[in-house]
Amino acid sequence: MKMERTSGVLLHPSSLPGKYGIGSFGKEAYDFIDFLIQSGQKLWQILPLGPTGYGDSPYSSFSAFAGNPLLISLELLVEQGLLKQKEIDTGFLENRTDIDFGKLITWKFPVLKKAFKRFSETTSTLQARKMDNFRKDHSEWLENYCLFMALKDQNHLKPWFSWNTEQMIFQRETPRKLKEELRESIEFHTFLQFTFFNQWQDLKNYANRNDVKIIGDMPLYVAHDSADAWANPEYFLYDKSRNPKLVAGVPPDYFAATGQLWGNPIYNWDVMKEDGFSWWKRRLKFNLKSYDIIRLDHFRGLSEYWGVPFGEETAINGNWYKAPGKELLQALTGELGDLPIIAEDLGIITQDVIDLRDEPGLPGMRILQFAFDSGEGSGDLFLPHNYIRNSVVYTGTHDNDTLWGWFSQAKNQDKQYAMDYLNIPENMDIQTNRKMNPELTWAFIRAAWASTANYAIIPLQDLLGLGNQSRMNLPGTTSGNWKWRYDAEALTDELAGKLAEMTRLYQR
């Protein structure tokens, strides 16, 4: 992957501010891009954009292709004439600092159905044709996804593996009677995807026109309760009852003492290899229309994966199994050429993972927070003076505590090491009004920006010096995550100017 020396900010669109319960692709998203421009940043990294289910995790989506309707801007639908202002001013008017997903879903989907009804009744021939073109262009995944979601609605959102046998067993040729019965629901979900991708593409185009690239995030696995796992059973290790033989996770590590049991079904790599990894080619091509660069989550799973027998309660009793990562990457390179992929190479990394990453020239990740955490166990790798150019440095990721959250609870010896390495004065007042002292924050930013890593990225929480109440995710937990949103007033001209100067100083 070709990389110029540059920098950016990690922020999921759901964390954008606004009136209506969750960040969206409306004005606040454009304002954030303007902040990136003002501060000299060329990268906006996000988390996966797929529709979320239980636990609200963007890494557990109903589809590897579809977009999350919750991110649709209602205000843009008002501008289109598909909603009236009074219809969206009935809830979530306050600028919340977190997301209440339960209340949000209950409120927003009925509002989106009003927009769909008005679209169906009043849309122009041009718009109808555009939606038909969208349907044809995305037919490889859209038809199955919309049928899947219509069946989920009919089954009160229960997972597909608890539906009746006729619905649970996917049929390539859907019975006409069932399609007709679910026609309106299928059309509604088609409208949601049409609207989502129109709004997202407009936003991405605005970023690209202003020299800002989007780094998307592609989970290695798909969720068990997903259209992909339902409609493509041949690609997964299922038994005759469509239960997974093995599920994905990671063994005990720094993040979790009993490992992480993700529960994703494991791919049937033999079948995928036999058909030339066609599903992966379609998936990557599709994602590269939505993003400029892709961060491939859990990259080490392409070399070896941790498979846990279905039904286990923790990830402890798993085993390592080989995966055909080399053949997959060769097939993708043959189809797409140079792969604009960042390898998430964290965790237990062996030489074969390093070789798999380096052969196609993929950059890996370096987490600055880990450099000073004696509990992490591999700090030397993450110290800036050991970085290589073909890498991406982060102060932290969505899975880490914020810098201030980590530093405030770190061991004294780790704090001291960080302060010595970063040349932080001993007499500095570390905490200021429940925030990290800005000078301490900027010492970490300076270390990342000054490093030799081609890309340097900071989560917005760290740029704002926020504590662990602003943490995005705590691995190994299933509730209370993905809720954080920032206050629009936090992105000041002063902050933009300081980040721009740091960026200029270190030639990013």
Question: Minimal CA–CA distance to 322: which of 357, 353, 361, 281?
Answer: 353
CA 298 to chain centre: 12
Residue 401 buriedness (CB in 10 A; 0-12 / 13-18 / 19+): buried
Sign of CA dihedral 233, 237, 241, 244: negative
30 CB neighbour count, 10 Å cutoff = 15
Q: Which helix (H) or strand (E) covers residue 496, if one does?
A: helix 493-505
Residue 408's beta-bridge partner residues? Answer: none
pLDDT in tens, the chain (508 residues): 889 999 999 999 999 999 999 999 999 999 999 999 999 999 999 999 999 988 999 999 999 999 999 999 999 999 999 999 999 998 776 667 899 999 999 999 999 999 999 999 988 888 889 999 999 999 999 999 999 999 999 999 999 999 999 899 998 787 788 889 999 999 999 999 999 999 999 999 999 999 999 999 999 999 999 999 999 999 999 999 999 999 999 888 766 789 889 999 999 999 999 999 999 999 999 999 999 999 999 999 999 999 999 999 999 999 999 999 999 999 999 999 999 999 999 987 899 999 999 999 999 999 999 999 887 667 789 999 999 999 999 999 999 999 999 998 999 999 999 999 999 887 666 666 556 677 888 999 999 999 999 999 999 999 999 989 999 999 878 889 999 999 999 999 999 999 999 999 999 9
Tell me, what's the pLDDT at 478? Answer: 82
CB 139 within 8 A of CB 282: no
| Phi, psi of 82, rounded to the nearest 5 degrees | -90, -15
Q: 3-state SS of 343-379?
A: ECCCCCCCHHHHHHHHCCCCCEEEEHHHHCCCCCCCH
DSSP string, 282-348: HHHHHHHHH-SEEEETTGGGGTEEEEEETT-SSSTT-EEEE--HHHHHHHHHHHHSS--EEE---SS
Question: Minimal CA–CA distance to 48: which of 217, 284, 197?
Answer: 217
Tell me, what's the pLDDT at 123? Answer: 82
DSSP string, 370-430: HHT-TTTS-HHHHSGGG--SSEEEES--TTSPPHHHHHHHS-HHHHHHHHHHTT--TT---
Length of the chain: 508
Tell me, what's the pLDDT at 375? Answer: 76
Question: Minimal CA–CA distance to 468: which of 375, 352, 369, 357?
Answer: 369
Task: Provide the greatest CA pair distance for the chain.
Answer: 75
Question: Does 297 qualify as catalytic in the annotation?
Answer: yes
**Residues 419-426: contacts with CB within 8 Å, 24+ apart?**
421/371, 421/372, 421/383, 421/447, 422/446, 422/447
Question: Does 380 qualify as catalytic in the annotation?
Answer: no
Hey, is 482 helix, strand or coil?
A: coil
Q: Catalytic residue among 345, 373, 376, 399, which?
A: 399
CB 184 within 8 A of CB 119: no
Q: Catalytic residue among 28, 217, 225, 297, which?
A: 297
Q: Which helix (H) or strand (E) covers residue 168, if one does?
A: helix 165-168
Q: Catalytic residue among 217, 225, 344, 376, which?
A: 344
Tell me, what's the pLDDT at 434? Answer: 59
Hey, is 244 helix, strand or coil?
A: strand
Question: Does 399 qualify as catalytic in the annotation?
Answer: yes
Q: What is the DSSP letter of 234?
A: G
For 298: left if phi > 0, alpha if psi spans -120 to 50, otherwise beta; the answer is left
Q: What is the DSSP letter of 266?
A: P
| Assigned token pair, 76 | 């843009």
Close Cβ partners of 418 (under 8 Å, ≥ 6 residues apart):
371, 372, 407, 410, 424
Tell me, what's the pLDDT at 347? Answer: 82
Using CA atoms, how far apart are residues 481 and 379, in angstroms rounded to an integer?
27
